[in-house]
Structure 1
Amino acid sequence: MTHDLTVAAMFLQADWVVKAVMGVLMLASVATLSIWIFKGWEIVSHRRAIASALKSLSGGGELASFTQLPDPAAAAMIQAAIGELERYPAGERDGFADGIKERVAAQILRVEAGQQRKLSRGASVLGSIGAAAPFIGLFGTVWGIMHSFIGIAQSQTTNLAVVAPGIAEALLATAFGLVAAIPAVLVYNAVTRAIAGYRVRMKDAATQVMCLLSLELEGDLSARRRVEPPHGV
């Protein structure tokens, strides 16, 4: 009797536990592909937006002129700085400059942390798939081999033609585990590197915002000194 040893045939002939394991691993592969497509599009769009925002910020100007930046993180940083400036009337901010800068810096840190959490969604799933898939596949293989040995004992034969198909079906689970794990690890590393690069650009944007805030506070102080008469006059 000849056995069909194609992947599809071995999947259909495998024990139900092995089938369940391979089904889970196929779903994990689909999840990896979906996350790769979505995160790739998301990170690329954010990197373009932060690059455009940095180009705008490097040109200088008042904070109020940057409220429509394309990157949400950079726009939120600008809004935080403007919000703190608006707490005090123009010309009276120099006495509160240190406090304004500290509060803006704290809010910028919150913006950065929130944006990083948003971009990191899904990356942990990739890491989990990459770490767990080989062991899930190994479990399917162990179960399949155990089931094959039980069948060998019941048939009371050690003929390789009879033994080999069951072992091949069991080993297919390990192959599915590796097929799920290897892309997940590669995509996870690519996503984390891309997020790290975006985080560096966010730091650059934060520095630009703090510089613009400092210049605006200094300009406010200079304007006040020009308006106030000298002491003793």
Structure 2
Amino acid sequence: MTPVLATEAASLSPVALFLQADIVVKAVMLGLLAASIWTWAIIVSTGGRLRRERKASEAFEDAFWKADDIDKFHDRNSSDVSPAARLFDAGVREWRRSTGGKQIDKDGTRARLATSMQVSVAADIDRLSERLNVLATVGSVAPFVGLFGTVWGIMRAFTSIAAEQSSSLAVVAPGIAEALFATAIGLFAAIPAVIAYNRFGHALDRLEARLTRFSDRFHATLSRELDAG
């Protein structure tokens, strides 16, 4: 590579493109870079959290179906905070409240048990998905923010053509390169956000389905206890 070409290549490096950009394009690049960092922080933390919650719920369910006494199992696992454990706790608490009196309304007890466990499932899914809206926002907005930087950079390129009265590549290349770099950063932020959003949404759907199945089976167990009593 000749010295001239080496200098031109260096001037089009990512750092050089950022330093050469005007304040508007710099703001766009910094905003998109911050969004990308935030996105990856959410991806790492949420991915680990969902894995832990899923494994803890699976372990709790396996232990529950091997237990002989529901009340003793509940007392032994009162400190468990997995989604399945919270669902189980909600069901047991409602069971004790509904069957603690002298007269028991069986149909009302069944309805209240179903409602309390459904609320527990919904609350856990809401809790686990609370930051997915950030991924959805970044995934949908970042490309347009990058496009804004692109349009602004191209406008600067045309302004340079008018000021220099020349359309040579040396005049327009910096502005066009800045524009394309802004677009690239926008896509760098958006693509992982969209992939992670879809991936986590699928994982949450599977967890919700698993919790719902556990809720139905536990409800059936308590319903049989109600009929036996």
TM-score by length of 2: 0.88
Check the 8 A contact 2:138/2:193 in 1, yes or no.
Answer: yes
Matches within 5 A, 1:164-203: 164-203=173-212
Q: Flag the 1:144–1:91 CA change in 2: closer, same or farther, 3 A.
A: closer
Match of 1:122 in 2: 131
Ranges in structure 1 where 5+ consecutive residues have no aligned partner: 221-233
| Between 205-214 and 175-184, the greater mean CA deviation after superposition | 205-214
Match of 1:218 in 2: 227
| Superposed CA offset, 1:158-191 (max 9, x none) | 1222211221111110011111111111111111
Match of 1:75 in 2: 85
Work out which of the two has the higher radius of gyration on C-alpha atoms and give 1 or 2: 1
Match status 1:160 vs 2:169: yes
Check the 8 A contact 2:164/2:171 in 1, yes or no.
Answer: no
How many residues matched? 219
Match of 1:109 in 2: 118
Q: Distance in 1 between matches of 2:92 and 2:111?
A: 14
Matches within 5 A, 1:1-233: 3=8, 4-59=11-66, 61-67=68-74, 68=77, 70-87=80-97, 92=102, 95-220=104-229
Ranges in structure 2 where 5+ consecutive residues have no aligned partner: none
Q: Distance in 2 between matches of 1:92 and 1:215?
A: 19
Check the 8 A contact 2:150/2:180 in 1, yes or no.
Answer: yes
Match of 1:224 in 2: none
What SS does the aligned partner of 2:166 have? coil
TM-score by length of 1: 0.86
Which amino acid in structure 1 is aligned with residue 96 of structure 2?
E
Answer 1 or 2: higher relative contact order, Cα 8 Å, separation at least 6. Answer: 1
Stretches of 4+ moved more than 3 A in 1?
69-72, 87-93
Percent identity for Structure 1 against Structure 2:
40
